Amino acid sequence: MAARVRVLGLGNEILADDALGILAARELARLFPPADVEVVESSQSGLHLLDYVTGVDRLVVIDTVQTGRTAPGEILVVREQDVRSAPGTAAHGTGLFDALALARQLGFPVPDDVVILAVEAADCLTLGGPMHPAVAAALPQVVELARALIRNPR
C-alpha cells in the first residue's frame, strides 16, 4: 500500500549547508509515526530519485539551493507546478524535476502534489564544514513548515 505522504530530505551531511535536508528529515521522523508519514533521507540524485518520487499521494521535499538571489537561511516554499525548468542539462545531472517528469512519462504513480521547501545555502561544497549560522537557524522553521504542510496541504 502506498504511503499517503512522503517527506524526502535531500542533501549530504558532510557538505556544510547541504546537510539541512537530511537533518530536517531526521527531526520529522522523530515527530511522525511511520504509519502516518513516510520520512526518508537521501544523498542520491539523478535517476536514483525515481524510487523516492513515486508511489505516494503527496511529496514534501526539503533541500538547500544556491540561487544567489536571497540571503543564506531564507526559506522558499514552492510547488512543483510553479517551477519552470531551465533549458539544457542540470549542473549535477538529472535532478528532482527531471526524475518526476521521467516517472510520469513512464507511467509510474507520481503525486500531483509536490512541495519543495528550499533553503538558500551559503556553502554546499566544504567537506566537513559547519553549516552557515543562518542556514542552521532556519532548520526549526523548516521542520515546522513541513509539519504544517503534512497536516494541511493547502
Q: Which domain holds residue 29?
A: 3-151
Q: For the chain, how many structural domains are there in total?
A: 1
CA distance 7 to 24: 10
Residue 140, C-alpha cell as written in the block: 526549526
CB 8 within 8 A of CB 60: yes
Report pLDDT digits (tens) over 47-71: 889 999 999 999 999 999 999 999 9
Report pLDDT digits (tens) over 103-114: 999 999 999 899
**Phi, psi torsion values for 139, nearest 5 degrees:** -55, -50
Please provide the distance, in angstroms rounded to a whole number, between the alpha carbons at the two ends of the chain.
Answer: 24
Taking the chain (154 residues) in runs of 10, the rounded mean pLDDT of each run is 82 94 97 90 89 93 93 94 59 74 92 94 90 97 96 76
Domain CATH number, residue 30: 3.40.50.1450
pTM, full prediction: 0.89
